[in-house]
Structure 1
Amino acid sequence: MVRFLLGITLFSTFVSCSDSSESRSSVFFGGEIVNPTSDYVVLYHNDSYVDSVKLDDQNRFSFQLNNIEDGLYHFDHTPELQYVYLTQGDSLLARLNTVEFDESLVYSGKGSEINNFLIEVFLKNENEEDLVNSYYELDPEAFSKKIDSLHSAKIDLLKELDIDNQLTPMALAMAQASIDYNTYINKEKYPFYHKKGTGEETIHELDDDFYGYREKIDFNNKDLTYFRPYFDFMKWHFGNISYMACLQNCSTDKKPVSDRLHFNKHKLALVDSIVKQEELRNILFRNVAMDYLLREHNPSEEATVFINKYKSLSTHKDHQEEIDLLYSGIKNLQPNATLPNIAVKNFNDEEISLKDLANNNKKNTVFYFWTADQKRHFRNVNKHIVSLEKKYPHYNFVGINLRTNFTQWKQMMDEYKLDKDKQFFGENFKELQMAMIIDGLNKCVIAKDTVVVDGFANLYTSL
């Protein structure tokens, strides 16, 4: 009810603008952002840029979109993003507070029903995560009953929404997918999480009914290609069936094949044989290649063979260049290599290179990373760094902030009383990500002077 009332209040402030701009072939999408972390809102369709607008002096934004394709979009307000479903003729308003971005997001106006439902399902899935994790130790039949019950409750909500609002077939399919594919992901995870939780030595036997939903999967749905639940399901599904195929056909003792090249070539082949929709094929191929290289870490003849195999399947030139850049970054972070020539900014907005930061004393330097949108991680890392500095006084710990507005970063520096001589702002996230191979926020890089000591260290296990 609170979310609904907020939407009504916001709609009343915009109603004259949205009424005058609405037409059958156009879309009005606007709103208000409380506590903005960026000056802009950027709109994307799939992975393509659509438009960007600057917030006004009241932190409001508005897009007037003509003759756009109906379907799923996403809007970016750095460092956050969220989906928005747009249909020609919509006059849609959003209101959110960046302190609790997803929890506070509420829509009003024409087109709000499907969007509020997608957000509600997203939040329900987040809130159910601990509950679902507690189910993985159950036997397959009991687990399925629990998961199916959560699924049915959401389907009932969707039926009520459709009766009240008569969703279009495309909107109804999107809402159904938001429920179904999150449920299917839990099923794909089950054999691995069950084995880990119970300590069983082998994968639990599952009958055909457990994976009965697989018969309904559309592996070539263009409308869902960039929808996170659908894509995440694809990743889990192909990982699952590749693992099981290897276990059955490539192992003599029923133990999993430990050769990552072998396993990931299986995944490439399965995607190639099953998925025909070009965009989905390409992003799945990219995901397999990224996963292999980021876990392998070492340049080798095998890695080259794998990259060549990937390139023979992918038709996306930008993805291929990205994989080459990633592999180049991995090679440049090997022991005794020189640190990448990358610049970051200090508190005074002055550029300084990583080499200079590592060369300013004779201590070993540990570069670690954090972002404003992961507050719990940020607090845990700060606490951990304090203990590491006491334990290793001969090390120099340098924090690099990622995917945060520069002004917000400075505010956090002051709020948490961080040492301005040891904290820096990474303006170009993509450049830093590829050069320092940032595959997780516990990643750190250890250097001596300007030379890499360990390019793939972990802040919690390597020191």
Structure 2
Amino acid sequence: MRIYYCILLIVIMLLGCKKDATKDNGDFAFLGGEIINPIDDFIIISKSKQNIDTIKLDGNNRFIFKLSNLEAGLFSFNLRSPFGLEYQVVLLEPKDSIMLRLNTLEFDESLVYTGKGAKKNNYLIEEFLKYEIEEKRIFKFCQLNPADYQKEIDSLKDNKLRKLEKFKSKYETSDLFNKIAHANIEYTYYFNKEIYPFVHYGGNKSKILQALPEDFYNYRKDVNYNDSSLKNYFNYHNFLRSSFNNMALTQHYKHTNTDHFKSIDVCYNLDRLALIDSVITNSEIKEELLHHYTISFLNRNRNLDNNYKIIDFYTNKSSNNDGKEMIVRYAKALNNLKIGTKFPEVKLIDTNNSETSVDAIINSPTVICFWSQKYYDHFKESQHKIRELNIKYPEVKFVIINIDDYDLDSTIKALKRNRFSLKNQYLFKNPKQSKDDLAIYPMTKAFIVDKNQKIVNSKANIFEKNFEEQLLGLINR
């Protein structure tokens, strides 16, 4: 039956190409496939973070979509799995007719492509899966001395290049594929070098940097920090962040009086923002980096004067008015969530579909945590952690809020599917407004609130080493 379906679909695509040949003067491609164990009856196709279309699955959980006036490049398809929102990329070029098949229970591992344009995409997904395994080895290698570390990552890179050359000799490849495949190898290699000072054991990062060979970062002079064609590609994105972390560290040590590095130091963070502003000219890449580091600093820092310094720099350098307004709102919300202030009135929906509010359920020492179906690992780990803490600290109430803009049924199914208790589980009545009011970023954020509904810590993290000490302090207040 599946063979018959694939043949039929290829015929339909060929007929579609022929039928539309006189109408469609631009380039086009087809993307279709079958989703096993779907949660929803649709998938979302996007490019450069902009949604192109929402494609309905048919009665057999299959779909087909024609992309007209195609601009070749990396496209994303997004859909929910039992573990949250998942996405993967596919390289589409003119006249491609690609079929994908995946099981949401094993999303990346089950993904396979067939049809014209499939081989290049199967190569890319295979390399993606290999890197997930390789990443653990890299962190172990980082404890080696620089020379031995260099040998290990050079060997990994050489093996990947040989495999790519073998693939190119066997199949006809396009310039765009060649660029993406080589970029995947190069920027993974560069990322591995950039993280070395941070992952290598020892708190004296200055000493680690000084021990590196002089040519260790020579590749930077040839790197394109403004490659718009790769701006949403995972490996390039990771490299950019790690590179600016590292370059800012070197810059920071030129005018600091200590060898011990603190990532929350306002001087270091200003150095990093200044480097981004001076090196990046692509407005989208610059805005993403400036916004990310600004909001990350605001979430971790407790000094208002330093907050203003970072916000002033960002608003002066950013050209994104929406981004600037968001940062100002976020900073204002953080200011309203200071220690000793009353926790904001937020409307909730419980698992019985009854409306309530935070102030109606806080009558004892309380921890308020959040989760989203978009972040399955955090969802699963936080629920397990809260269950463990509940047993150890029965005096503390743990309120768990889903922040998604989904219906109650979706939330309950996610909890039951993973065999988590429905007790003290809620979702926001008004997700967007509530997320703004509580400045929920990152997802690991938690509030510690006393029995009088006063905030004890608005930037807690249940996975921090000293979190249980904070709970004991809360109980003994």
TM category (shorter chain) comes to 0.7 to 0.9
Matches within 5 A, 1:440-455: 440-447=442-449, 448=451, 450-455=453-458
Which is worse superposed, 253-262 or 134-143?
253-262
Does the 8 A contact of 1:403 with 1:429 survive in 2? yes
Equivalent of 2:136 in 123, 130, 140: 130
Does the 8 A contact of 1:235 with 1:284 survive in 2? yes
User: Match for residue 91 of structure 1?
Assistant: 97
CA offset digits 1:315-366 (Å, max 9, x no partner)? 1222222222321231232223343454444334x3635xx24423521232
Matches within 5 A, 1:77-226: 77-78=79-80, 79-196=85-202, 202-204=207-209, 205-226=211-232
> Which amino acid is 2:223 matched to?
I
User: Match for residue 360 of structure 2?
Assistant: 359
2:286 matches 1:278: no
1:390 Cα offset (Å): 3.0
Distance 2:111 2:432 in 1: 27
> Which amino acid is 2:197 matched to?
P
> Which amino acid is 1:203 matched to?
I
Equivalent of 1:332 in 333, 336, 345: 336
For residues 452 and 352 of structure 1, do their structure 2 counterparts lie closer, same or farther at Cα, with a shift above 3 Å needed?
Answer: farther
Does the 8 A contact of 1:359 with 1:450 survive in 2? no
Which is worse superposed, 374-383 or 153-162?
374-383
Distance 1:211 1:232 in 2: 16
1:14 Cα offset (Å): 2.4
CA offset digits 1:378-408 (Å, max 9, x no partner)? 4543343233223332322122235596555
User: Match for residue 51 of structure 1?
Assistant: 53
For residues 324 and 30 of structure 1, do their structure 2 counterparts lie closer, same or farther at Cα, with a shift above 3 Å needed?
Answer: farther
1:43 Cα offset (Å): 1.6
User: Match for residue 292 of structure 1?
Assistant: 297
1:258 Cα offset (Å): 6.9
For residues 55 and 278 of structure 1, do their structure 2 counterparts lie closer, same or farther at Cα, with a shift above 3 Å needed?
Answer: same
Distance 1:89 1:260 in 2: 52
Distance 2:73 2:250 in 1: 35
SS of the counterpart of 1:76?
strand
> Structure 1 stretches of 5 or more lacking a match?
1-5
2:33 matches 1:31: yes
1:144 Cα offset (Å): 1.0
Equivalent of 1:234 in 234, 240, 260: 240
Q: What is the CA RMSD across the aligned residues, in angstroms?
A: 2.8
2:28 matches 1:18: no
Q: When the two structures are superposed, what TM-score results if normalisation uses the length of structure 1? A: 0.88
Equivalent of 1:311 in 309, 315, 319: 315
Distance 1:45 1:112 in 2: 19
Distance 2:103 2:363 in 1: 45
Distance 1:136 1:167 in 2: 35
Distance 1:227 1:427 in 2: 35
Distance 1:341 1:161 in 2: 59
Matches within 5 A, 1:350-429: 350=353, 352=355, 356-360=357-361, 362-372=363-373, 377-402=378-403, 407=409, 409-425=411-427
SS of the counterpart of 1:419?
coil
> Which amino acid is 1:386 matched to?
R
For residues 331 and 55 of structure 1, do their structure 2 counterparts lie closer, same or farther at Cα, with a shift above 3 Å needed?
Answer: farther
1:311 Cα offset (Å): 1.3
Does the 8 A contact of 2:412 with 2:422 survive in 1? no
User: Match for residue 459 of structure 2?
Assistant: 456
1:92 Cα offset (Å): 1.4
Which is worse superposed, 273-282 or 338-347?
338-347
1:188 Cα offset (Å): 0.4
> Which amino acid is 2:385 matched to?
H
For residues 384 and 32 of structure 1, do their structure 2 counterparts lie closer, same or farther at Cα, with a shift above 3 Å needed?
Answer: same
Distance 1:207 1:9 in 2: 60
Distance 1:292 1:149 in 2: 36
Distance 1:368 1:226 in 2: 30
Equivalent of 1:41 in 30, 40, 43: 43
For residues 169 and 341 of structure 1, do their structure 2 counterparts lie closer, same or farther at Cα, with a shift above 3 Å needed?
Answer: farther
SS of the counterpart of 2:295?
helix
SS of the counterpart of 1:337?
coil
Distance 1:293 1:200 in 2: 24
1:427 Cα offset (Å): 8.1
SS of the counterpart of 2:361?
coil
Does the 8 A contact of 2:198 with 2:205 survive in 1? no
SS of the counterpart of 1:128?
helix
> Structure 2 stretches of 5 or more lacking a match?
472-477
> Which amino acid is 2:343 matched to?
L
> Which amino acid is 1:41 matched to?
I
Q: When the two structures are superposed, what TM-score results if normalisation uses the length of structure 2? A: 0.86
Distance 1:72 1:119 in 2: 13
Does the 8 A contact of 1:242 with 1:270 survive in 2? yes
For residues 53 and 188 of structure 1, do their structure 2 counterparts lie closer, same or farther at Cα, with a shift above 3 Å needed?
Answer: same
For residues 264 and 162 of structure 1, do their structure 2 counterparts lie closer, same or farther at Cα, with a shift above 3 Å needed?
Answer: same
User: Match for residue 475 of structure 2?
Assistant: none
> Which amino acid is 1:20 matched to?
L
For residues 148 and 390 of structure 1, do their structure 2 counterparts lie closer, same or farther at Cα, with a shift above 3 Å needed?
Answer: same
For residues 446 and 93 of structure 1, do their structure 2 counterparts lie closer, same or farther at Cα, with a shift above 3 Å needed?
Answer: same
Does the 8 A contact of 1:338 with 1:451 survive in 2? yes
Which is worse superposed, 78-87 or 326-335?
326-335
1:97 Cα offset (Å): 1.2
Instruction: Tell me the number of residue pairs that the alignment of Structure 1 and Structure 2 aligns.
Output: 451
1:74 Cα offset (Å): 1.3
